[in-house]
Structure 1
């Protein structure tokens, strides 16, 4: 039976969580992981984090930092050491060959191919402790963990509407419902995601560009995805320019769902296989409704302008709700002013 984690290991795990965060700008689509090696007297002898796909995993980086001092040490790591060979070898093998005597990890690896490293190490005679500061480590690795557990990206649906819920006027005009400050905020949110998704209707109506436009440099442009069942996106559409990579996802390529349009679940599986961990949906009412009805929206960001139209399309199309008792309820997680507008962030209530 393994010993309970001591104060040195708790402090080391907090440091490992800090180290893991250093990989946030560059590690995707891999998880962010930090590792600290402790000598038997509790002093730190090695540190490491995963910087980029194909680069050393956090455990290997820490072992290299420690050198011979790794023998007999305790490895404190934010994610269960992997047991598979990908671009690099298994971390379990590296830890065993280095002579590490104890491993303390925060979060079990949920992936079928890499999980189970703790059991492998335990079978080899290494003391293993699981769950130390799990909540803190999970929060820092939320993007990857969600995708690994659900086999799809975490989906945020964003829309901008008037106070009476209109996303365009009766004549179809929608530029601009919200303020320049709100539109700049949207670009910042786009930059935080791996993909920006819109329906072909939005592209045809607005010639939407979907790329990130900020004054400061952008580390990388997200993939632009147009959900276009029959391939109607014009060759000259702005979304096809070279400002960012673009995928026009057709039913012929992705497959069709029950409604005869692009299978959205299949689309999201393809995206996660392409390394997309988070998707920012800016599609119109039709795409939003389809995602909501399929239970594929994990967060909603609504920009509400202090304006009234009285007519025009609503933010979302038919959800199949016919009585107030069946309303889709959400929980507000953040509320703030952006210029003259209000930004509300919500998550669907479970069940």
Structure 2
């Protein structure tokens, strides 16, 4: 499939507003037909086909930063890099620029052996944590090249999404791609601060023991301006969350 087939990613899904004092937020993830994003206990599932996986990496290329929660780091050990062949690059892209990895880790459980802090990692992660964390652990993580940034948290230990976005904006991050996992997806949807929503639907059933993207109906998001795009065996839904 040629890059031209992915034009909708830029025409519909990615249009940052430079007049707001926070990054443009793109929330994107893949789920099964029964709404599952991971297997039992958060086990990683490869749901996306090659065409929709390519769309994910084109989106990574176009964003300044990419965010996941600590659960995704512990379960998947991701690199959060752009993996595209030269033929897959959109016209005029130039050399690949990897997005800045952002990790939400309220109690600083980030593993010292993670791929994100290997010497070969193109960009070391920025790890956002809460006020209550292990100071020695922080020193060990920072010694590996990562940056640890403290945010305010609520009584349940959830980090403040508005404070996060304000901090990123101050560090010249103008576009943020949020990939999950479940608690991160819910937090961003409840925040009302998602600008673009891209959902890849894979033609598989995982079963009731899988992990759902949204755990409860509290603050359930509604969407508008919805379009569907076939990508190989998958379908990608592109929409905007309704405001208010």
TM-score interval, smaller chain: 0.7 to 0.9
Higher relative contact order (CA 8 A, sep 6+): 2
Q: Using the alignment, how far apart are the partners of 2:203 and 2:232 within structure 1?
A: 11
Q: Using the alignment, how far apart are the partners of 2:95 and 2:105 within structure 1?
A: 27
Q: What's 2:214 paired with? A: 316
Q: Specify every segment of 5 or more residues in structure 2 that has no aligned partner in the other structure, as ranges.
A: 1-11, 87-93, 132-148
Change (3 A) 1:332 1:309: farther
Q: What's 2:61 paired with? A: 191
* TM-score for the superposition, normalised by structure 1: 0.54
Structure 1 segments of 4+ aligned residues over 4 angstroms from their partners: none
Is residue 235 from structure 1 mapped to residue 131 from structure 2 by the alignment? no
Counting only pairs closer than 5 Å after superposition, residues 263-282 of structure 1 correspond to structure 2 as 263-282=160-179
**2:39, 2:45 within 8 Å by CA — same for their partners in 1?**
no
Q: Using the alignment, how far apart are the partners of 1:309 and 1:282 within structure 2?
A: 19
Task: Measure how far apart 1:199 and its partner are.
Answer: 0.4
Q: What's 1:349 paired with? A: 242
Counting only pairs closer than 5 Å after superposition, residues 255-270 of structure 1 correspond to structure 2 as 255-258=151-154, 259-270=156-167
Stretch deviating more after TM superposition (243-252 or 231-240):
243-252
Change (3 A) 1:224 1:336: same
Q: Specify every segment of 5 or more residues in structure 1 that has no aligned partner in the other structure, as ranges.
A: 1-138, 322-326
Task: Measure how far apart 1:171 and its partner are.
Answer: 5.5
Task: Measure how far apart 1:333 and its partner are.
Answer: 3.6
Task: Measure how far apart 1:335 and its partner are.
Answer: 1.4
Secondary structure in structure 1 of the residue aligned to 2:197? strand
Correspondent of 1:175 among 23, 45, 57: 45
Task: Measure how far apart 1:206 and its partner are.
Answer: 0.7
* Per-residue deviation, residues 92-136 of structure 1 (Å, max 9, x unmatched): xxxxxxxxxxxxxxxxxxxxxxxxxxxxxxxxxxxxxxxxxxxxx
Is residue 297 from structure 1 mapped to residue 194 from structure 2 by the alignment? yes
Task: Measure how far apart 1:221 and its partner are.
Answer: 1.2
Q: What's 2:97 paired with? A: 220
Q: What's 1:152 paired with? A: 22
Counting only pairs closer than 5 Å after superposition, residues 26-105 of structure 1 correspond to structure 2 as none
Is residue 329 from structure 1 mapped to residue 233 from structure 2 by the alignment? no
RMSD: 2.1
Correspondent of 1:287 among 170, 184, 192: 184
- The aligned length equals 204
Q: What's 1:76 paired with? A: none
**2:198, 2:237 within 8 Å by CA — same for their partners in 1?**
yes
Q: Using the alignment, how far apart are the partners of 2:108 and 2:231 within structure 1?
A: 36
* Per-residue deviation, residues 200-254 of structure 1 (Å, max 9, x unmatched): 0110011121111111264411100011111111112012232224211112333
Q: Using the alignment, how far apart are the partners of 2:191 and 2:48 within structure 1?
A: 28
Is residue 143 from structure 1 mapped to residue 16 from structure 2 by the alignment? yes
Change (3 A) 1:303 1:232: same
Change (3 A) 1:284 1:171: closer
